[in-house]
Amino acid sequence: VTTMYLLQSVTNDFRKSLFGKILNLPLAFFHKVKTGELISRIVSDVQMMQNSVAVTIVDMIRDPLQVFVYYAFLLTIDFKMTLIITLVAPIIIVVMSVIGRYLRRYGTRMQEKMAELTSIIQEGISGIRVVKVFNAINFELEKFKKVADKYLHSLMKMYRVNRLSGPFNETVGAVIASSLLWYGGNKVLMGTGPSPAEFMQYVITLLLLMEPVKLFMDKVNRVQQGLAASKRVFTLLDHKPTVPLPQGDKKIDSLKKRILFDNVSFKYEGNDEFALRNFSLEIPKGEVVALVGHSGAGKSTVADLLARFYDPTEGNILVDDTNLKEISMNSWKNMLGMVTQEVILFNDTILANIAYCDSNPDLERVVNSARAANALDFIEQLPQKFETIIGDRGMKLSGGERQRIAIARAIYRNPQVLIFDEATSALDSLSEKLVQEAIDRLMAGRTVLVIAHRLSTIIHSHKIVMLDKGTKVAEGKHRVLLEQSPQYKELYEMQFAIGRK
């Protein structure tokens, strides 16, 4: 029981460490690695490590000890004959090392295919609406079958290589036994070797020695399979970002004056082109500043830099004249709130989603936040009200309801600085009216950066910034931009024409 507890505790700690490591990795890491791959490392790879250790930890101590005792006894009976038998050991070691190398290779391939399977499952289930509406069930199933067959192929290769060690050990044992009977028997008959009784003792001890050797070799093969999984686990644990975010130590608890982008340029890792170039912008405390522009203009990049998912390649972001890099990450995140374009909700209660990451939520504050977000009416109509489980990504709620829950979450957090990425999904007139009212309440009295997709919602912003291909091309209030910026006027007229149609 104690051994099992220790083993499970170590496995549990590995999973905790892996998940903690993943959550702390920079956003750029997740652009390159599939979600299913990470899930597989935490679940499948750690499990294979545990299986490898569980069946070997005692035997890997007991079997070599038995071999040592038997070998020492053989030396006392006939030193010379035992040394001759020992010459076979290097051959066994070389063959077993080759088998081990193949086991690690096929073990790694098998785990990679398992990661692909996990990824296909995760994507297929999370995108089930698209799969069904595109009638792509057979397409997804065929994709899964191909990878599952490759997984089986790698598994069987590893199994066949693993089974080679058994016949090899049996063959070596038979050769040693035959040679021993021939060589030792002649010495006994000629009277130049051990006595018949000692020779019988020698043969019996040698046969007894073969069993722990065979078991030990089998355990070594299991360890090789575990090593393939452990390499993937430790590669993730030891991963260091190419461009690590420096951790500042200056603590702040409020925004006094402004946020300033000072000649900021940025390019994503592995990309030679700048996503943002020579960008300067002042966001005074308490004002709403909106970013507009066509897709790929750099709006989301500005927001990600302010959220400090990345640091500028060139230039600085200043918060009350303090470089954002020098401010404690926790201190900055505690001041920051974000409503994303794609509403992210968790498979939990409405209460837990609104009071996200608050281990002791204030129910009165939750209710007030829901009321301010125009969400209280529909919540009160649900059978379990705030204790209603909303399903994976909030699938049990409508689009407008999900948006209002996300806004209620931001209101509950009560951030001083808000990043609001406007949702592009169309809502019915009533839902859009309720959501817009909730947005207005959310923005009131806060310093807000809005990524706008519909100009009609940000006409009254204190400042509108027009971006084009990563460069700021215009800045000002709505009426000023209509008169002075051809790009803004074109965007406005295009949206107005679409709206009128």
DSSP 321-387: TEEGGGB-HHHHHHHEEEE-SS----SSBHHHHHTTT-SS--HHHHHHHHHHTT-HHHHHTSTTGGG
Residues in CB range of 67: below 8 A, 6 or more apart = 209, 212, 213, 216
The pLDDT, as a whole number, for residue 501 is: 46
Backbone phi, then psi, for 244, in 5-degree steps? -70, 145
Same domain, 351 and 410: yes
> Residue 393 carries which DSSP code?
G
Tell the burial category of 348 from Cβ atoms under 10 Å away from its Cβ (0-12, 13-18, 19+): middle
Q: Is the pLDDT at 331 greater than 80, yes or no? A: yes
For the segment 456-484, what is each residue's pLDDT rounded down to a tens digit?
Answer: 777 888 888 988 888 888 888 888 888 88
Share of the chain above pLDDT 70, in %: 81
Domain assignment present for 161: yes
Please check whether residues 232 and 369 belong to one and the same domain. Answer: no
Can you tell me the distance from the alpha carbon of 400 to that of 433, in angstroms, rounded to the nearest whole number?
A: 10
CA 229 to chain centre: 16
Give pLDDT tens digits for 271-296: 778 888 998 989 898 888 989 888 88
pLDDT at 372: 86
Write down the pLDDT at residue 184.
Answer: 67
Backbone angles phi, psi at 283, to 5 degrees: -115, 95
Radius of gyration of the chain (CA): 33
pLDDT score recorded for residue 54: 65
- Residues above pLDDT 90, as percent of the chain: 1
C-beta atoms surrounding 65 within 10 Å: 11
- Return the number of other C-beta atoms located less than 10 Å from residue 11's C-beta: 17
Determine contact, residues 346/352, Cβ cutoff 8 Å: yes
What is the model's pLDDT at position 105? Answer: 77
* Prediction pTM value: 0.69
Instruction: Reduce the DSSP state of residue 446 to 3 states and report it.
Output: coil
Number of folded domains in the chain? 2
Residue 242: inside a domain:
no
Provide the token pair at 361: 């939520």
The mean pLDDT value for 337-358 works out to 84
Residues 6+ apart with CB under 8 A from 125: none
Instruction: Return all residues near 312 (Cβ < 8 A) that are at least 6 apart.
Output: 264, 265, 266, 305
Q: Considering only residues 146 and 497, tell me which one the structure prediction assigns the higher pLDDT.
A: 146
276 touches 288 (CB < 8 A): no
Per-residue tokens: 51: 């299986």
Say whether both 270 and 228 belong to one domain.
no
Does 343 score more than 60 pLDDT? yes
Side chain identity at 57, as an amino acid letter? I
- pLDDT tens-digit profile of 177-228? 676 667 666 766 666 666 777 777 777 777 777 777 777 777 776 777 677 7
Does the residue 251 lie in any domain? no
Q: Domain span at residue 203?
A: 2-237
Q: Is residue 395 situated within a structural domain? A: yes
Domain CATH for 27: 1.20.1560.10
Do 276 and 227 lie in a common domain? no
**Does 172 fall in a domain?**
yes
Residue 253 lies in a domain: no
**294 and 230 inside one domain:** no
Residue carrying structure tokens 């393939």: 228
The residues, ordered by sequence, that sit 6+ positions from 225 with a Cβ below 8 Å of its Cβ are: 48, 52, 103, 104, 107, 158, 162
- Give the C-alpha separation, 382 to 359, whole Å: 24
Between the ranges 72-81, 178-187, 492-501, where is the mean pLDDT highest? 72-81
Whether 171 and 80 map to the same domain: the answer is: yes
Residues 53 and 114 in one domain: yes
pLDDT tens digits for 224-271? 767 777 877 888 888 876 656 667 788 888 888 888 999 999 988 777
> Is the pLDDT at 26 greater than 80, yes or no?
no
Residue 438 and residue 356 share a domain: yes
Give the CATH number of the domain where residue 391 resides: 3.40.50.300
Q: Are residues 291 and 411 in the same domain?
A: yes
* DSSP 8-class letter at 451: E
85: in domain? yes
Model confidence pLDDT, tens digit, residues 384-420: 888 988 887 788 888 888 888 888 888 888 888 888 8
Give the number of C-alpha atoms closer than 13 A to the C-alpha of residue 146, restricted to the C-beta side. Answer: 8
Q: Which helix (H) or strand (E) holds 176?
A: helix 137-190
Higher-scoring residue by pLDDT: 325, 37: 325
Give the whole-angstrom CA distance, residue 220 versus residue 55. Answer: 11
Residues 157, 22 within the same domain: yes
Structure tokens at 120: 């296909």
Asked whether residue 490 carries a pLDDT value surpassing 60, the answer given is: yes
β partners of residue 261: 281, 317
Q: Residue 444 has what pLDDT?
A: 80
